[in-house]
Amino acid sequence: MKSKVRDVGDVRVLDLEGKITIGAGDIELRQNIEDSVAAGRKNILLNLKGVSHIDSSGIGEMVGCFTTVARKGGRMKLLNLTQKINDILQVTQLITVFDVYDNEAEALSSFKS
Amino acid sequence: MQLLSAYENIELAERMLAELCGSASIDEETTYWVGMALREALSNAIKHGNKLNPEKRVQVHMKLHPEGELKIAVEDEGDGFDPTRLGDPTSPDNLLRSNGRGIFYMRQFMDGVSFFAGERGGTRVELVKRLRTRREG
């Protein structure tokens, strides 16, 4: 998995690309989130536009990151789900857990509410 | 195919599956989801079965049957496990757990998922997908 970090106002945007899968992308995702929270960036937007695969370990890490950020008083939201990633969140019913956006400006604004 | 217990080998097996599916004109969507199921079976075998022990192997068999089924078998050399003890990862109590979705994934993406005791004491999971080729639409 490749990731690019951007700070837009008080929101940290992680542009992710590739696979979030066991032994590779899952650990990188966790590290990215831990680094963000440690840096005081607790409002996090995961841009999944370039993500081709998320296996159960990747989904598990996303859930773990979501709860970690929430415990620290922050919020983690999702942006630009591909159809396949959306399908995975639907079947796992995690679509009911995450705030999901397909427009970055709207996603960023949502952190102000 | 015999794989060492390393996650990197999941990519290799998935590529071989994609080649097999391509040779049979199986559509990309089906190939993707079957590949995801194979990933989960291999992850379980490497992590939970063989516990990343480099001396233990994972056996993988993939076969296209003329009646229109793709069958995949993945067998580890672990201590076996009881698939009846699995919780439902979509229940409210489990929804925010960070694990326990691998077999659920397999069952979502395949038409059949069965577990057996392996010949070496581990677990063999058999995955079945009923196929439509591109020519059939």
> Residue B81: its pLDDT value, please?
83
Interface contact flag, B99 A59, Cβ < 8 Å:
no
For position B17, which CATH number holds? Answer: 3.30.565.10
Interface contact flag, B101 A92, Cβ < 8 Å:
yes
Residue of A nearest to B106 (CA): A56
> Residue B133: its pLDDT value, please?
56
Greater confidence (A16 vs B118) lies with: A16
Residue of A nearest to B92 (CA): A93
Write out the two tokens for B15. Answer: 């590529």
In CATH terms, A2-106 corresponds, of 3.30.750.24, 3.90.180.10, 3.20.20.70, 3.40.50.2000, to 3.30.750.24
How many domains are there within chain B?
A: 1
* Chosen from A57, A66, A85, A87 to mutate, greatest number of chain B CBs within 10 A: A57
Interface contact flag, B43 A92, Cβ < 8 Å:
no
Q: Is residue B104 classed as helix, strand or coil in its secondary structure?
A: helix
Average pLDDT over residues B71-86: 91
For B119-133, what is each residue's pLDDT tens digit? 888 999 999 999 975
Sorted by sequence, the CB contacts under 8 Å of residue B101 that are 6+ apart come out as A56, A59, A60, A92, B89
> Residue A24: its pLDDT value, please?
83
Interface contact flag, B36 A60, Cβ < 8 Å:
no
Q: Which of A21, A57, A93 sits opposite B95 (nearest CB)?
A: A93
Helix (H) / strand (E) containing A78: strand A75-79
The answer to whether the CB of B58 falls within 8 A of the CB of B42 is yes
> Residue B136: its pLDDT value, please?
52
Question: Percentages helix, strand, coil for chain A, rounded to the nearest 5?
Answer: 45, 30, 25
Q: What is the ipTM score, two decimals?
A: 0.91
From first to last of the 113 residues of chain A, give the pLDDT tens digit.
999 999 999 999 999 999 999 988 889 999 999 999 999 999 999 999 999 999 999 999 999 999 999 999 999 999 999 999 999 999 999 999 999 999 999 999 999 97
Residue of A nearest to B9 (CA): A23
Write out the two tokens for B35. Answer: 């590949």
Residue range of the domain that includes B115: 2-136
Interface contact flag, B40 A56, Cβ < 8 Å:
yes
Kindly indicate the confidence band of residue B83, based on its pLDDT and cuts at 50, 70 and 90: confident
**Is the whole model's pTM more than 0.90, yes or no?**
yes
DSSP letters spanning A34-74: HHHHHTT--EEEEEEEEEEEE-HHHHHHHHHHHHHHHHTT-
Q: What one-letter code names the amino acid at A45?
A: L
The phi-psi region of residue A32 (left if phi > 0; otherwise alpha if psi is between -120 and 50; otherwise beta) is alpha
